[in-house]
Chains A and B, each alone.
Chain A
Amino acid sequence: MAGNKGRGRAAYTFNIEAVGFSRGEKLPDVVLKPPPLFPDTDYKPVPLRTGEGEDYMLALKQELRETMKRMPYFMETPEEKQDIERYSKRYMKVYKEEWIPDWRRLPREMMPTKKCKKAGPKSKKAKVTGQGTSLTNPADVLKKIEELEKRGDGEKSDEENEEKEGSKEKSKEGDDDEEDDAAEQEEYDEEEQEEENDYINSYFEDGDDFGADSDDNMDEATY
């Protein structure tokens, strides 16, 4: 090993002169804090380039920033309440076009689970027949309920309903349900129970056990 320190005195293991300090000279203080956040610079930075191209790109950049905020891809976070209602807010509302992705290019789990609005009879059912797992049954229930409501006490079978809806879907392009919140199973049941109707709250797909609590109009629901 390099040996003891010389009787308690510090001895450098290298030639101190090589580093630039003469022997015996007081070494500079140890810095005990992080470097300053905004250090002084000895030299001022070079001014920015200017010119036609630069000006145009600057304008482009600022325009793009504004445009992006108005595009449907910009997902707004729900706003906190404004302190004062402003009259001019009315004139500054930007209506965003809706954007529907091309579902054929995306994984199937990307499709939002649907909760049907009462107002919208033609709610979109994802390609249920293949999938079978994620789509909620309540979605089917409400839709069927609405269909039946509309047709009064229709005698149509469920299969017929399903076919009709399937073909309607294929011809339709956009829909208004993109922004529905994901319907948790529990929340959904609550909402159903809130609705005033005579229909049963639970409904099962073909092949599952069907509870015997059917009401008058549910003769056809046994396939």
Chain B
Amino acid sequence: MEQPRGKTGWTEVTEPGPGRPGFGASDRRPRAAALRLLSTMTQAEIKLCSLLLQEHFGEIVEKIGVHLIRTGSQPLRVIAHDTGTSLDQVKKALCVLIQHNLVIYQVHKRGVVEYEAQCSRVLRMLRYPRYIYTAKTLYSDTGELIVEELLLNGKMTMSAVVKKVADRLTETMEDGKTMDYAEVSNTFVRLADTHFVQRCPFVPATENSDPGPPPPAPTLVINEKDMYLVPKLSLIGKGKRRRSSDEDATGEPKAKRPKHTADNKEPIPDDGIYWQANLDRFHQHFRDQGIVSAVANRMDQTSSEIVRTMLRMSEITTPSNAPFTQPLSSNEIFRSLPVGYNISKQVLDQYLTLLADDPLEFVGKSGDSGGGMYVINLHKALGSLATATLESVVQERFGSRCARIFRLVLQKKHLEQKQVEDFAMIPAKEAKDMLYKMLSENFISLQEIPKTPDHAPSRTFYLYTVNILSAARMLLHRCYKSIANLIERRQFETKENKRLLEKSQRVEAIIASMQATGAEEAQLQEIEEMITAPERQQLETLKRNVNKLDASEIQVDETIFLLESYIESTMKRQ
């Protein structure tokens, strides 16, 4: 059974692997690598990464990516040798992975370049729909498409993004209307100002006075102040519609592949300045969303609005991984409340006091000046959210009586068997059964307290306790497994119905081409009837199932986000 990560999440590499000195092709690895700390990826995570890479980039990229995730940092030729892939294909795969920020490279001694996979970044691919949808809610369709293009392409120059998005938006507009580049640029600038997109590290411009041979790989740099600096571009133009003759459904397939033709001859004004989506900023937004909705559920709309205001004010002043926000005075909060929120100062103060007194401790009072200084306890909030997730899982899996016991142990921290039965008011036999069930699934753990130095079992206290961090890790691991199962099941369903799906696609293609060449209604009807009624039924069922599986993936990912945020926040404080 896979072991979840150890307490610290870091393990020293102790077992031999392909990269250790003295083993196989990697003899040239320096001794220091043997002692390097690697973060272990569990089997579940690796499996999930494999499925994601395969769905998005194909099998070759998947093979290279998974190999790197498993073995850590490796040079080019070792990868090719160990995976049995041709050098050219490995290079292409690495280019794709580097482009999408999934792999980074580092130059080691003697000019050897090593490539390392960013495992957790691969898992972020699950969250792309959420990022894009968030951009839509904040910056409407233009923002949505900008973020989508950046995620689909890994990194792009601003001019390329603006052009592509303008073209796409123009496609959706009515005939005769086009989207102006300036409007798209404005949205891009707003995204950069609010840090949702950021500049990629770039190749520093060096004077060519260096007489030696160029380095095997460029060193990319970026500093804080440049990260959100938008280059001064004057992008003038409008989006272009794709003409119908370009579409492949009609006419002969092209003899030549479509290339970037005439446009490439123009010099790119911001050449070399690439942008990427800033996932951390999105995560900060999700975290804020989670806290606000938790407050809304626990208290009321007005309280949640106050908390939202406080979080908004802290966006720029507080780094995203701080345990609590900078203190805000009640006066400041009052001034920053959204327009149209007509609560008086006294009412605001009452709400703030209520929030600060709440046992969940989302809001804390840190002083009395300025009408009262208040902070949001980000770490505590994340902890509460993670705990609530655990409680909810226990309730849904084991029933509400089990959940009662779980909450009890959480609250009292350590309880003996007898005490659990008494406090929970549940008969002994059932209580034992439930406790053991939760124990076997690692929601609850046992703490031994020996009375005598010889640790004799008959003279030892056994206390039940909930270790939130390890329970969260366990649940996270299960989430990864769940999503892997969901993806596999979806692929299985699709494969089972492959013949039918292909038939339906062919029929659609034929109908489309017939429509383009102007066929009659009766003919189209005939073609449509090629798919029989039971087959249509089967297709409907398939679609329903696939939708359900997809939706489940998205919602499990929300739990993953919560748990990961909590674990990360806790690790930072240790």
**Could you tell me if B429 and A46 are in contact, using CB atoms closer than 8 angstroms?**
no
- With A75-B96, A130-B213, A181-B88 in contact, do A93 and B253 touch (Cβ < 8 Å)? yes
Contact with B along A148-192 (1 / 0, CB 8 A): 000000000000000000000000011000001110000000000
A105 x B203 contact (CB < 8 A): yes
List residues of chain A with CB within 8 A of the CB of B89. Answer: 75
List the 10 closest pairs (A to B, CB-CB), nearest first.
A107-B217, A14-B457, A182-B88, A60-B129, A88-B506, A57-B129, A75-B58, A61-B129, A20-B432, A107-B113
Report which of B60, B136, B429, B509 forms a contact with A92, defined as CB distance below 8 A: B509
| Total number of A residues with any Cβ neighbor in B under 8 Å | 64
Are B58 and A74 closer than 8 Å at their CB atoms?
yes
List of A residues within 8 angstroms of B92 by Cβ: 75, 112
Query: Which of B60, B217, B399 contacts A108 (CB under 8 A)?
Result: B217
Query: Do the beta carbons of B551 and A48 come within 8 Å of each other?
Result: yes
* CA A182 to CA B550, docked complex, whole Å: 39
Known contacts A13-B457, A107-B217; is-contact A97 B260 (Cβ 8 Å):
yes
Interface check B259, CB cutoff 8 A: yes
- Most chain B Cβ neighbours within 10 Å, of A18, A75, A105: A105
Chain A proximity mask over B491-514: 1 for CB below 8 Å, otherwise 0? 000000000000001100110110
Task: Give Cα distance in the complex from A108 to B215, angstroms.
Answer: 8
Contact B399 A13 (CB under 8 A): no
Report the stretch among A62-70, A135-143, A201-209, A210-218 that lies at the interface: A62-70
B94 contacts across to A, CB distance below 8 A: 110
* Alpha-carbon distance A76/B456, docked complex (angstroms): 63
By the criterion of a CB under 8 Å from any partner CB, how many residues of chain B are at the interface?
A: 81
B95 interfacial contact with A, CB 8 Å: yes
User: Complex formed: what's the CA distance from A48 to B551 in Å?
Assistant: 8
In the bound complex, residues from chain B placing their C-beta under 8 Å from that of A92 are 505-506, 509
* Cα A93 to Cα B252 with chains together (Å): 11
Known contacts A92-B505, A108-B217; 4 additional CB pairs below 8 A are A42-B398, A56-B133, A57-B129, A107-B113
Contacts of B350 in A (CB 8 A): none
Chain B interface residues toward A at CB < 8 A = 55-61, 76, 86-89, 91-96, 98-100, 105, 107, 113, 128-130, 132-133, 136, 148, 152-154, 202-203, 213-214, 216-218, 220, 248-249, 253-254, 257-260, 264-265, 272, 274, 396-399, 417, 428-429, 432, 456-458, 462, 505-506, 509-510, 512-513, 546-548, 550-555
A136 to chain B: closest CB distance in Å? 12
Q: Is the CB of B260 within 8 A of A93?
A: no
List chain B residues, Cβ under 8 A from A13: 456-458
Inter-subunit contact B128/A64 (CB<8 Å): yes
Residues of A within 8 Å of B398, CB to CB, are: 42-43
Q: Are A48 and B216 in contact (CB under 8 A)?
A: no
* Prevailing SS type, chain A contact patch: loop
A-B contact pairs, 11 of them (CB 8 A): A13-B458, A75-B61, A97-B257, A98-B257, A104-B272, A105-B218, A107-B218, A108-B216, A108-B217, A173-B265, A182-B88
Q: How far is the CA of A95 from the CA of B220 in the complex (A)?
A: 33
Which chain B positions have C-beta within 8 A of A112?
A: 88, 91-92
Q: Are A109 and B554 in contact, with the CB atoms below 8 A?
A: no
Also in contact, A104 and B218, with CB within 8 A (given A75-B61, A182-B86, A182-B88) = yes
Whether the Cβ atoms of B554 and A57 lie closer than 8 Å is yes
Distance A203 CA – B349 CA, assembled complex (angstroms): 86
Question: Using Cβ atoms and an 8 Å threshold, which residues of chain B touch A113?
Answer: 88
**In contact, A48 and B456 (Cβ under 8 angstroms):** no
Does A220 belong to the interface (CB within 8 Å)? no
Residue of B nearest to A14 (CB): B457
Known: A64-B129, A107-B105. A91 touches B248 (CB 8 A): yes
Residues of A within 8 A of B432 (CB): 19-20
Residues of B close to A53: CB separation below 8 A:
133
Contacts of B93 in A (CB 8 A): 75
